[in-house]
Structure 1
Amino acid sequence: MKVAVIGANGQVARIVERFLIADKDIDPVLFLRKSDRLTDLQNDAQIIEGDARNVKELTEAIKGCELVYANLNGSGQSGVAAKALVDAMHAAGVKRLIWVSTIGIYNEVPGKFGEWNNRMLNDYLPLYHEASDIIENSDLEYTIVRPSWMTDKNEVDYEKFAKGQEFTDTEVSRKSVAAYIFHIIRNPQEDKFQSIGLGKPGTAGDKPSWY
């Protein structure tokens, strides 16, 4: 199974890549803006340097892949980046997409935590929302992942929140998010056409514990 990772130097992406490389049935293609950031993986995966807003570069990178996992930061998750990826996937004939977004794009976080989340993310939320709308309105077989505020805890402990369900968990580990993404990569029929929130059970509150 050939899998493309777009935004391959992201913190969650780096964990996912360890899972992919350890799985001998998966052939990873790692796409990022500066390829020298992944010199430690040059013997384990195909590494391609390019711009995630460039349709031609994306198309060449994902040709022959069965699934694309896009892990772009807030500034990169503009409508331009989302549309470029949708167009590239059409051109390359790839249908399955995992797209990482954030909580709050549907105004699904209630109470004081929702107010805090909106204040902290502020200008980023419209960008995430715009990008997710483009993905959801495409004909791709997408899973949008909406993690809560992420920690570096060495644990896999998460629960899922469907679109339209109130999201109350204030945190989740990056390893948990990576484990869920890897699970979908290995089980691509699951959570198709779904926007899934991820949080750690028992962490409801007004804001994450470290703030």
Structure 2
Amino acid sequence: MTNVLILGAHGQIARLATSQLLQETDHHLRLFLRQPERLTITDQAREEVVDGDVLDSAALTKAMAGIDVVYANLGNAKIEAQAKSVVAAMTKAGVKRLIWISTLGIYDEVPGAFGQWNHQMLDGGYLETYAAAAKVIEQSGLAYTIIRPAWLSNADTVSYELTQKGEPFKGTEVSRKSIADLVVKLINDPQQHIGESLGVNQPGTDGDKPSFY
């Protein structure tokens, strides 16, 4: 059994990962979020809800107690500050393994017309802040994996391939279920992809933009 802290536990990918973890593993899940009444708990023996803000360092550090893996499903204009808070709390608590959700394009790694479209859609505060947050994680000394999804869909499919930092990004889209599946795989085998930043896309989705745009 692994003790997992899920930050931003109400996020769509986080809820998919939680459901998969409950179905496929015996892990204990500590669900950290604001407004916890938004969550529906299905297994009180394995799900522990903590009401808190990631920027509250004392509450976050307390939530790290006994944790083996931190999965951070965060994201807003304060993502860099959130990254700094997570790193500080994990360091203080002595927790090493971090799975961090980011976005495509933070290294200007998306080629061609799709890369230009992605910049048009995400420049002006989004890519810049996510890139800054990823840099915080990469310089943290933690055993991190950064996940950079393509544009996200709600397709009921699990189909994905990976690219590494320094390689051109592939494809234009990927399902949230696919990202949740990758998160679960990393939690189940936490020695995988340590110190790596993974681009994630659905094979065969190359194009100038995602199919749903």
Residue 97 in structure 1 maps to residue 102 in structure 2: no
Q: Distance in 2 between matches of 1:130 and 1:103?
A: 13
Q: Distance in 2 between matches of 1:70 and 1:33?
A: 14
Name the SS for the 2:119 alignment partner: helix
Residue 21 in structure 1 maps to residue 43 in structure 2: no
Q: Distance in 2 between matches of 1:32 and 1:152?
A: 22
Residue 172 in structure 1 maps to residue 157 in structure 2: no
Name which of 154, 168, 172 aligns with 2:156.
154
Name the SS for the 2:39 alignment partner: helix
Q: Deviations over 1:142-168 (max 9, x none)?
A: 000000001111111000010011013
TM-score (norm 1): 0.96
More displaced 10-residue stretch of structure 1: 117-126 or 17-26: 17-26
- In the alignment, which residue of structure 2 is the partner of 1:72? 74
Instruction: In structure 1, give the amino acid aligned to 2:169.
Output: F
**Structure 2 residues without counterparts, runs of 5 or longer:** none
- In the alignment, which residue of structure 2 is the partner of 1:114? 115
Task: Map 1:122-141 onto structure 2 (within 5 A).
Answer: 122=123, 123-141=125-143
- In the alignment, which residue of structure 2 is the partner of 1:9? 10
Instruction: In structure 2, give the amino acid aligned to 1:160.
Output: L
Change (3 A) 1:188 1:124: same
Q: Distance in 1 between matches of 2:190 and 2:41?
A: 28
- In the alignment, which residue of structure 2 is the partner of 1:38? 39
Name which of 51, 55, 58 aligns with 2:53.
51
Name the SS for the 1:5 alignment partner: strand
Q: Distance in 1 between matches of 2:40 and 2:164?
A: 37
Instruction: In structure 1, give the amino acid aligned to 2:38.
Output: R
More displaced 10-residue stretch of structure 1: 30-39 or 1-10: 30-39
**Structure 1 residues without counterparts, runs of 5 or longer:** none
Name the SS for the 2:70 alignment partner: strand
Work out the number of aligned pairs and report it: 210
CA contact (8 A) 1:168 1:205 kept: no
Instruction: In structure 2, give the amino acid aligned to 1:152.
Output: N
What's the RMSD between the two structures over aligned residues? 1.1
* 1:42 to partner: Cα distance: 6.7
Name the SS for the 2:165 alignment partner: coil
Q: Distance in 2 between matches of 1:20 and 1:30?
A: 12
CA contact (8 A) 2:158 2:175 kept: yes
